[in-house]
Structure 1
Amino acid sequence: MAGLASDGSNPDVSLLYDINGFAKSAPGWLDRTMEFVGEYGILLAMVLLVLGCWWQARKGADHERSVTVVAGALWAPLAAGIAVLVNIPIRGFVGRPRPFVDHKGLDVLIPGKTDFSFVSDHATLAMAVGAGLFVAHRKFGLAAIGLALAEGFCRVFMGVHYPTDVIGGFALGTAVALLLSPLAMALLTPVVRAVARSERLGFLVRFRRSREVASAVVEIPEPRPERNDLAA
């Protein structure tokens, strides 16, 4: 696989040098910022998006919709974990070295990586979360997909992945999240629905559950005794 990227005329390599070239001309503070964002920051933002989706679902007025969204918010990180596990044998089978092994002159912001390059774990994880959240909630899903695209750019910018590593990660993460989504939702939705009915754990699904139950109680007035106007 490494031979596919050894030729300087290869568009994969050309795009690698073009994007990584921004790191060479960027000031040091920007390189350090991109290093943190690409390695940790975007993944932390993904966690916040998943929590935000769950929190928003708890405040929804539609009970069944809340159950579905919470189940989808649970599926997103699970899909990411499964996608990364699937990637382990793929990386070993392809055996593609990191770009800085075969190509000189790259500005590598995170040195010391010795594992294989294809496909990118970061891109796989980020896009799996994005696709999983999109199944649950369109707005949060689109935001997560946007972050996943930014993650892919950062990995190439830092000189630790080829563009095709990132594209492969996007494809793998999307495939796992969407193809397994029907089965995952079929399993998770009844569990979340059961939690929603629980007196102790219902707050994990319904933010105003107790208030809604209280407001649903209709007070029935006591019957008044009939008056007999003909009585003497």
Structure 2
Amino acid sequence: MMMLHPAVQLAFDGSGIDGSLFTAVTDLARDTKWLNTPLSLWTNAGLGVFAVLMLIGWWKARRRDTATMTLALVAPVAVVVAFTVAEVVKKVVAEVRPCYSLPHDYFVSACPASTDYAFPSGHTTVAAATVAALWLLQRRLAVIAAAFALLEGFTRVYLGDHYPHDVLGAALLAMPVAYLASRILGRVAVPLVERLRTGLLQPVLTAAPVGAHAAR
């Protein structure tokens, strides 16, 4: 019989919530081993997509008003706020990773340390928070981010890192936190951004309207 580390024995076991669904997804991973490496690479590299989408939002905001630029600048801050809240929740809940609770399932990812808890999913938190922040900035970018967020959440279960409820819980936590953070900071920081747009950072925060050079 497998003896668990004391820290694992004291942690919350989430396998009773949706362990069977988790197993069904990891069985899919076992049967599609040709996908294991691509999705393993994507699950971390894919986070860069959300950074790129926020950069695109900033680039487009350069031709918009100060309120829009403020939302673009606070978007990554809102993501950090959501991630920080999620990390606090993770320590409080202390849900042991699936590899400890369901050791006989198929796992693509290596089993992390016993104190690296599962709920909520950090990767999904970043993805969902980006969707919420971009929703206030530009909804087309938010829709694109949502599609990638779904893929990100799926990979976390497929690779065996998280239960489905870890992913769902991360989204339900991150989206309202990031949305509220963006709304609050998006209002409070407007005067500061207004000053920055007319100061040394003007070339970074403001772009000449299309056709301005031709008009000269």
Task: Return the TM-score normalized by structure 1.
Answer: 0.80
Aligned residue runs from structure 1 range 66-215, under 5 A: 67-114=66-113, 115-198=116-199, 200-208=200-208, 212=212, 215=215
Q: 2:32 aligns with which of 11, 15, 26?
A: 26
Aligned position for 2:8: none
C-alpha distance in structure 1 between counterparts of 2:193 and 2:211, whole Å: 20
In structure 2, C-alpha distance between the alignment counterparts of 1:213 and 1:182, rounded to whole Å: 35
For residues 7-28 of structure 1, the C-alpha deviation after alignment (integer angstroms, 9 at most, x for no partner) is: xxx5x11221122222101134
Q: Is the 8 A contact 2:13 2:101 kept in 1?
A: no
| Structure index of larger Rg | 1
Distance 2:98 2:111 in 1: 12
Whole-angstrom distance in 2 between the partners of 1:68 and 1:106: 50
Counterpart CA distance in 1 for 2:36 and 2:13 is: 29
Bigger shift: residues 162-171 or 179-188: 179-188
Structure 2 counterpart of 1:37, one-letter code: W
Specify which of 22, 30, 36 is matched with residue 16 of structure 1: 22
Q: Residues of 1 paired with 2:82 and 2:95: CA distance?
A: 19
1:36 to 41, 49, 74: 41
Q: Which runs of 5+ in 1 are unaligned?
A: 218-232
Over 3 Å counting, the alpha-carbon distance change for 1:144 and 1:210 in structure 2 is closer
Q: CA RMSD in A?
A: 2.2
- Once the two structures are TM-superposed, the CA of residue 213 in structure 1 deviates from its matched residue by 9.1
Between the two proteins, the alignment pairs up a number of residues equal to: 204
5+ residue gaps, structure 2, are 1-10
Superposed CA deviations along residues 90-148 of structure 1, whole A, max 9, x for unmatched, are 11111110011111332222213120101111111111111101111111111112211
Whose RCO is larger (CA < 8 A, sep 6+)? 2
- 2:50 aligned with 1:50: no
What is the percentage of aligned positions where both structures have the same residue?
Answer: 27
Scaled by the length of structure 2, the TM-score of the pair is 0.85
